[in-house]
Amino acid sequence: MQTSAMHAGSGQKSTEEEPAKSTAVYSTRQVAELIGLKRHQVRHYVRRELLRPQRGENGEFRFSFQDVVLLRAAKGLLDADVTPRRAYKVLVRLQAQMADVRALSSLRITSESGSVMVSDGNRRWDAESGQTQFAFDAPEKRKVSVATIVGSHLAVGKEVGEMSSDEWYNLGLDLEEVDLDKAPDAYRKALELDPNNADAHVNMGRLYQLKGNLRHARRHYQLALRAIPNHQLANYNMGTIYDELDELEKAAEYYERAPAVPDAHYNLARICELRGDEVSSLRHMRHYRDLVERSES
């Protein structure tokens, strides 16, 4: 979520739907290799009953994509130096809150100043207390005013009327960090100056999508793809539109056109798993992990 729209900066949105029946296709070894955990760590979560895998013909564990999503979140918490006991409590709480695998897989979980924070693109909250925050309310960002951001873009001696489409686009990126409501105005100005600014269309589409306006979001993604047909994020984000509409075949078509986006493979793995295509699901999960590791190296 993954099923989550991204921009040239990045962001996410979760959705809820009726739980889909899932098949269990992953062995303990496959799950451990895909997520980057030790096999005994995977079995630990089974013993604690966070995971309830099915059994294969020989009694071996067979894990579902839902299990992979939970273990991915567990790995992220452990990497952030959250203790195993605390990570377990957080995951139990999140598992109860999320209606389905799509909603859970769209979350971003981080450890910040001793707190475990969760984000779904629209909001941030403390995983343990449930207290809600907003992503742009971080103390270091509150110190920066919109006037300061705009002034930094004019420091080179240009007047507002002399700014290029790309400069307005970059201003929009900065405004997203301090005043999300003002960012669309900058992107609109970028598009007035250059209707083929694909990145500006992608970010406008994402902001519409976060507000639930899929029609306007899709239109901007279409315009981005008209300008640059192989635009990776535009294709990926278009896939998330159809994913939210539960048109999985159409979503998969667009995800396939975004091979450089890790989450495209993550979502394709989920779709393939729903189709019962174990081989393709495993292949996309490997691609996903390879891309993530490459970006972190």
Dump pLDDT digits (tens) for 225-263: 999 999 999 999 999 999 988 899 999 999 999 999 988
Mean pLDDT of the residues in the chain: 78
Same domain, yes or no: 151 and 130: no
Q: Angle CA(236)–CA(238)–CA(241) in degrees, nearest 5?
A: 115
Q: What are the tens digits of pLDDT across the range 199-235?
A: 999 999 999 988 889 999 999 999 999 999 999 999 9
Instruction: For residue 251, give both structure tokens.
Output: 């979503």
- Does residue 86 sit within a domain? yes
- Does residue 8 sit within a domain? no
Q: According to the model, what pLDDT value does residue 50 have?
A: 82
pLDDT: is 86 or 139 the higher one?
86
Q: According to the model, what pLDDT value does residue 265 have?
A: 93
Same domain, yes or no: 116 and 159: no
Q: According to the model, what pLDDT value does residue 236 have?
A: 95
Amino acid at 3: T
Going by pLDDT thresholds of 50, 70 and 90, the confidence category of residue 140 is very low
Going by pLDDT thresholds of 50, 70 and 90, the confidence category of residue 135 is very low
Same domain, yes or no: 73 and 129: yes
pLDDT: is 24 or 114 the higher one?
114
Rank 36-50, 234-248, 283-297 by mean pLDDT and report only the highest: 234-248
- Does residue 62 sit within a domain? yes
C-beta separation of 232 from 260 below 8 A: yes
- Does residue 204 sit within a domain? no
* pLDDT (average), residues 92-100: 69
C-beta separation of 288 from 265 below 8 A: yes
CATH number at residue 108: 1.10.1660.10
What is the distance between the alpha carbons of residues 261 and 233, in angstroms, rounded to a whole number? 7
pLDDT: is 25 or 193 the higher one?
193
Same domain, yes or no: 119 and 38: yes
Going by pLDDT thresholds of 50, 70 and 90, the confidence category of residue 137 is very low
- Does residue 57 sit within a domain? yes
Q: According to the model, what pLDDT value does residue 1 have?
A: 39
Residue 41: enclosing H or E segment and its boundaries? helix 39-47
Residue 234: enclosing H or E segment and its boundaries? helix 232-244
pLDDT: is 3 or 290 the higher one?
290
- For 115, the 3-state DSSP assignment is strand
* pLDDT (average), residues 83-107: 71
* pLDDT (average), residues 41-46: 86
Q: According to the model, what pLDDT value does residue 248 have?
A: 93
Q: What range defines the domain where residue 113 resides? A: 24-136
Rank 95-109, 127-141, 196-210 by mean pLDDT and report only the highest: 196-210
Q: According to the model, what pLDDT value does residue 259 have?
A: 95
- Does residue 9 sit within a domain? no
Q: Please report, rounded to a whole number, the percentage of residues in the chain having pLDDT higher than 90.
A: 26
- Does residue 286 sit within a domain? no
Of 90, 106, 136, which closes a domain?
136
Same domain, yes or no: 35 and 117: yes
Same domain, yes or no: 104 and 162: no
Global confidence as pTM: 0.62
Same domain, yes or no: 87 and 47: yes
- Does residue 253 sit within a domain? no
Q: What are the tens digits of pLDDT across the range 27-39?
A: 888 888 878 888 8
Same domain, yes or no: 74 and 162: no
Q: What are the tens digits of pLDDT across the range 149-178?
A: 555 554 444 455 678 899 889 888 888 877
Same domain, yes or no: 82 and 154: no
Same domain, yes or no: 85 and 28: yes
Domain count of the fold of the chain: 2
C-beta separation of 165 from 200 below 8 A: yes
CB within 8 Å of 40: residues ≥ 6 apart: none
Same domain, yes or no: 33 and 105: yes
Same domain, yes or no: 32 and 121: yes
